[in-house]
């Protein structure tokens, strides 16, 4: 049996303490790595969920824009059936008819947004905005303008322009 001297015992205790501290540090590091791994897994799951939502959002957005082009064909078909395209039409006059609908929307607003004369359950402002969109869609349908695609591309571009498109006044 070997007898340790006080110096050897002290060194031995120091080494054991150091080894225990190193072991504690390694265990703590492993625990932190495990927690970090769990955190990373949670972040990955959340990112996948966000990616799935973004994908669905894009599908809905593109579907809505495609529907806008289809609506333009319906609006034009109705206008043609009612004789509005029997003769060639001047683009200036057509654009002014669109502006006129907006002026009527403003007039409806000025009249305390009374209900529309034809759609009596709809505020006049809303009905006139609908008329404006119908005129725009009719023009797009007549001229084979893929308005849905254009609106989608413009909206995507506008998203990239930043807050108030670089500081423009509202």
Domain span at residue 108 reads 9-158
Question: Is residue 4 a part of any domain in this protein?
Answer: no
Q: pLDDT per residue over 59-113, tens digit each?
A: 888 888 889 999 999 999 999 999 999 999 999 999 999 999 999 999 999 988 7
Question: Which pairs count as long-range contacts for 67-73, CB under 8 Å and 24+ apart, including other chains?
Answer: 67/148, 68/137, 68/147, 68/148, 68/151, 69/140, 69/146, 69/147, 69/148, 69/149, 70/148, 71/137, 72/137, 72/138, 72/140, 72/141, 72/145, 72/147, 72/148, 73/141
The answer to the question of residue 52 being in a domain is yes
In a domain, 170, yes or no: no
Rounded Cα distance between 159 and 52, Å, is 20
pLDDT for residue 97:
97
Adjacent-strand bridge partners of 123: 115
User: How high is the pLDDT of residue 4?
Assistant: 67
Residue 3 inside a domain? The answer is no
Predicted model pTM: 0.68
For the residues 33-51, what does the mean pLDDT come to? Answer: 83
> Is there a domain that residue 122 lies in?
yes
Q: Is the pLDDT of residue 3 over 80?
A: no
Query: Is 27 domain-assigned?
Result: yes
Whether residue 56 has pLDDT greater than 80: yes
Structural domains counted in the chain = 1
Is 167 inside a domain boundary? no
Q: Is residue 165 part of a domain?
A: no
pLDDT for position 58 = 83
């Amino acid at each position: 049996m070997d007898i340790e001297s006080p110096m050897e015992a002290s060194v031995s205790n120091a080494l054991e303490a150091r080894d225990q501290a190193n072991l504690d540090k390694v265990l703590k590091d492993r625990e932190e790595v495990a927690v970090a791994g769990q955190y990373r897994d949670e972040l990955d799951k959340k990112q996948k969920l966000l990616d799935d939502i973004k994908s669905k959002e894009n599908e809905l957005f593109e579907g809505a824009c495609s529907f806008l082009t289809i609506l333009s064909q319906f609006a034009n078909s109705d206008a043609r059936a009612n004789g509005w395209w029997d003769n060639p039409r001047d683009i200036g006059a057509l654009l002014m008819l669109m502006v006129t609908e907006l002026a009527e929307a403003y007039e409806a607003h000025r009249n305390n947004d009374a209900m529309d004369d034809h759609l009596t359950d709809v505020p006049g402002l809303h009905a006139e905005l609908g008329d404006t969109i119908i005129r725009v869609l009719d023009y797009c349908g007549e001229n084979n303008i893929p308005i849905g695609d254009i609106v989608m591309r413009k909206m995507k571009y506008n998203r990239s322009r930043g807050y108030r498109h670089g500081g423009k006044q509202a």
